[in-house]
Amino acid sequence: MSSASSSPNPTITVEKKPSEARLAQLGIKSWPKWGCSPGTYQLKFDAEETCYLVRGRVRAYVKRPPPESEFVEFGAGDLVVIPKGISCTWHVSVAVDKYYKFDSS
5 phi, psi to nearest 5 deg: -75, -10
33-102 fold: Jelly Rolls (2.60.120)
Distance CA 73, CA 96 (A): 13
pLDDT digits (tens, 9 = 90+) for 40-79: 999 999 999 999 999 999 999 998 766 666 899 999 999 9
pLDDT digits (tens, 9 = 90+) for 2-35: 344 445 678 899 999 999 999 999 999 999 999 9
Length of the chain: 105
Which residue ranges make up each domain of the chain?
33-102
